[in-house]
Amino acid sequence: MSKSVILRSLVYLATGLTFFSLIGIVLYVLIGGIPYLSPELFSWNYNSENVSLMPSLVNTFLTVILSLVISVPIGILAAVFLIEYADLGVAAKSKIVRCFVSVIRIAADTLAGIPSIVYGLFGMLIFVTFFHWGYSLLAGGLTMAIMTLPVIQRTTEEALISVPMNYREGAFALGAGKLRTVTHVVLPTAIPGILSGVILAIGRVVGETAALIFTAGTVAQIPTSVFDSSRTLSVHMYNLSVEGLHTHEAMATGVVLLIVVVIINWLSELVANKIRPVK
Amino acid sequence: MENLTQENKNIRINIEDLNVYYGQKKALNAINMEIKENEITAFIGPSGCGKSTLLKCLNRMNDLVPDFNMSGKITLDGEDINKKYNINDLRKKVGMVFQKPNPFEMSIYDNIAFGPRVTGIKNKDELDKIVEESLKAASIWNDVKDNLKKSALALSGGQQQRLCIARAIAVKPEVLLMDEPTSALDPISTEAIERLCEELKEKYTIVIVTHNMQQAKRIADKTAFFYIGELVEFGETHDIFKNPKEKATHRYVKGKFG
């Protein structure tokens, strides 16, 4: 057998494994879950009879929105500072700034690599205990914000780096200042990259369990204030599975979770196309 | 007669004793030259001779380079560009077209309107007028007039470069700097840009850096030959190509090196 035949079969094998493991998981969840999708699962109030996922679904959206409202602006602004001002700006000449920047980068990289349970522990000790917020939507949302901040910041940095230098030069050559160049030329060009970071962050929040059990708690009700405990879909699935009484409903919840993720990705794509000046 | 009209032209840019350093490396050494209005001045020379560096000094593009340093004086209409001008105002007066066409990821219209909007023009009719005039001046209006909302990136390379020229003109500059504007283009687009330069010199002072000696010969009124950071020779284009005074110039224009 020649080298290229071996290589080719390896490539096919890898592609096949990736494809079939995805299809396998999706099919398994769909087949296991769809038969148990019943109207009661979507009733507004949860009880142990209907094991409704509706409150958890609403809580998932609330947690995602709350965390993104905090982490997206901060992450993007931090990345803009690091790339446009610290790396490319006049500040790049200063040794203190460079030192400061490398500390921020190390911190962000470390944060991105920390297991989520550590965020949960931190969130519990600070937000739940120290601030006396209790298990709450707010504590969970803030913990998720901290967890997704490095994701947003790093992907935005990558997106800004990939904006060609000559776009900036072009804008400067027309007499545009730094701020205008960043807001009108660089950021619009970087939107697709930034958005992929946002989707990644949404994915992390939607899929999170450990950190949320410690901070947002497990009450399956639509909260009336940010200080109410709120169970998200993933936590809901975890609880149903752990109790062992409602594994079918857990599968059905999985189906809904899958659909939610697909819808979120599709919506983000739509938003990106709306924001971008031209296609 | 020709000499007389040449003498009457005003000096636009004056460069006195200019030395440029990138960190420890000296990129330009004791440059003195005058650039007159309504002329095309070409900078030629082998790679790394400092011609682009000098061009980028004229609109302070080098300020973006972290270890850039210069001494000496550059004046535009008698005023020191490093002292008397706010950097953004200077760049509105001294426009630039780059080696690689760099339209923004926006519509054709927004590309042209970018500069005027920076200067604070918001009125739609006024912007429409500037966009049309600029595109006409860069002879690309007929190609794009029905597609102003289309992405500028959908244009061909030659059209993109003309768009960039239109974008530079839209700010109503006095001087146009061109950094090898045709090096990324095919011969037909190159010819279109060269013809455009000759039209534009009626209104603007043009400084063009080129690798292509034939291009300098075709369009430039004055030519400056640079070699290893020195201005070797500067004069009327036909003198530089027909009767160069310096041996290095002679060898370069005859294609012996570079």
Supply the ipTM of this predicted assembly: 0.89
Whether A124 has a pLDDT exceeding 60, the answer reads yes
Secondary structure of residue A83 in the 3-state scheme:
helix
pLDDT-derived band at B2 (thresholds 50, 70, 90) equals very low
DSSP-assigned beta bridge partners for residue B43? B209, B224
When computed from its CA atoms, the radius of gyration of chain B, rounded to whole angstroms, is 18
On whether the CB atoms of residues B233 and B224 are closer than 8 A, the answer is: yes
Cβ contact (<8 Å) for A173 and B149?
no
**Chain A nearest-CA residue for B171:** A174
Domains of chain B: 2-103+174-253 (3.40.50.300)
Task: Please tell me if residue B149 touches chain A, with a CB cutoff of 8 Å.
Answer: yes
**Chain A nearest-CA residue for B150:** A278
Distance of alpha carbon A143 from the chain centroid: 12
Lookup result for tokens 């560096």? B53
pLDDT of residue A90: 67
Secondary structure of residue A223 in the 3-state scheme:
coil
Per-residue pLDDT tens over the stretch B7-21: 567 889 999 999 999
Residues of chain B with C-beta less than 8 angstroms from the C-beta of A170: 98, 102-104, 164, 167
Mean pLDDT across A176-205: 92
H-only helix segments in B59-156? 87-93, 108-118, 124-137, 141-144
Residues of chain B with C-beta less than 8 angstroms from the C-beta of A171: 104, 114
pLDDT of residue B7: 54
For an interface test with A, give the residue of B60, B86, B104 to mutate (most A CBs within 10 A).
B104
The burial class, CB within 10 Å (0-12 / 13-18 / 19+), for B56 is buried
Closest-CA distance, B212 to chain A, in angstroms, reads: 22
Closest-CA distance, A55 to chain B, in angstroms, reads: 43
Q: How far apart are the first and last CA of chain B?
A: 36
Which carries the bigger pLDDT value, residue B56 or residue A274? B56
Q: How many CB pairs under 8 A join A and B?
A: 77
Mean pLDDT of chain B: 90
Mean pLDDT across B71-92: 91
The amino acid at residue A248 is: H
Cβ contact (<8 Å) for B61 and A169?
yes
Task: Report DSSP state, residue A254.
Answer: H
pLDDT of residue A279: 46
Task: Please tell me if residue B183 touches chain A, with a CB cutoff of 8 Å.
Answer: no
pLDDT of residue B9: 75
Lookup result for tokens 């200063």? A94
Lookup result for tokens 């040794």? A95
Nearest alpha carbon to residue B13 among B254, B246, B205, B255: B205
Whether B76 has a pLDDT exceeding 70, the answer reads yes
Per-residue pLDDT tens over the stretch A93-106: 678 888 888 999 99
Whether B198 has a pLDDT exceeding 80, the answer reads yes
Tokens of A9: 């079969």
The amino acid at residue A252 is: A
Task: Please tell me if residue A176 touches chain B, with a CB cutoff of 8 Å.
Answer: yes
Nearest alpha carbon to residue B191 among B167, B215, B220, B212: B215
Residues of chain A with C-beta less than 8 angstroms from the C-beta of B164: 170
For A263-274, give one letter per residue: b (16+ CB within 10 A) or e: ebeeeeeeebee
Whether A273 has a pLDDT exceeding 80, the answer reads no
When computed from its CA atoms, the radius of gyration of chain A, rounded to whole angstroms, is 22
Sign of the dihedral through C-alpha B86, B90, B92, B93: positive
Nearest alpha carbon to residue A28 among A235, A257, A254, A265: A254
Which pTM was predicted? 0.85
What share of chain B in percent tops pLDDT 70?
Answer: 97
pLDDT-derived band at B64 (thresholds 50, 70, 90) equals confident
Question: Residues B73, B75, B79, B80: what is their CA dihedral angle, to the nearest 10 degrees?
Answer: -30
The burial class, CB within 10 Å (0-12 / 13-18 / 19+), for B193 is buried
Rounded Cα distance between A54 and A222, Å, is 8
Rounded Cα distance between A258 and A250, Å, is 12
pLDDT-derived band at B222 (thresholds 50, 70, 90) equals very high
Task: Please tell me if residue B167 touches chain A, with a CB cutoff of 8 Å.
Answer: yes
- Domain residue limits, chain A: 37-275
**Chain B nearest-CA residue for A276:** B106
pLDDT of residue B185: 84
Whether A278 has a pLDDT exceeding 80, the answer reads no
pLDDT of residue A49: 82
**Nearest residue, CB atoms, A277 vs list B59, B105, B118:** B105
Residues of chain B with C-beta less than 8 angstroms from the C-beta of A101: none
What share of chain A in percent tops pLDDT 90?
Answer: 70
Q: How far is CA A113 from each of CA A117, A148, A149, A268, rounded to the nearest angstrom?
A: 12, 11, 12, 25
Which carries the bigger pLDDT value, residue B156 or residue B65? B156
Closest-CA distance, B2 to chain A, in angstroms, reads: 34
Cβ-based neighbours of A218, under 8 Å, separated by 6 or more: A135, A229, A231, A235, A239
**Chain A nearest-CA residue for B112:** A174
Per-residue pLDDT tens over the stretch A201-231: 999 999 999 999 999 999 988 999 999 999 9
Domain A37-275 in CATH 1.10.3720.10? The answer is yes
Nearest alpha carbon to residue B158 among B174, B143, B145, B175: B143
pLDDT-derived band at A277 (thresholds 50, 70, 90) equals low
How many other β-carbons are positioned within 10 Å of the β-carbon of residue A211? 26
Task: Please tell me if residue A185 touches chain B, with a CB cutoff of 8 Å.
Answer: yes
Interface of B with A in 100-139 (CB under 8 A): 100, 102-107, 110, 114-115, 118-119
For an interface test with A, give the residue of B114, B176, B183 to mutate (most A CBs within 10 A).
B114
Per-residue pLDDT tens over the stretch A54-94: 999 999 999 999 999 999 999 999 999 999 988 887 666 67
Secondary structure of residue A147 in the 3-state scheme:
helix
Interface of A with B in 37-96 (CB under 8 A): 88, 92-93
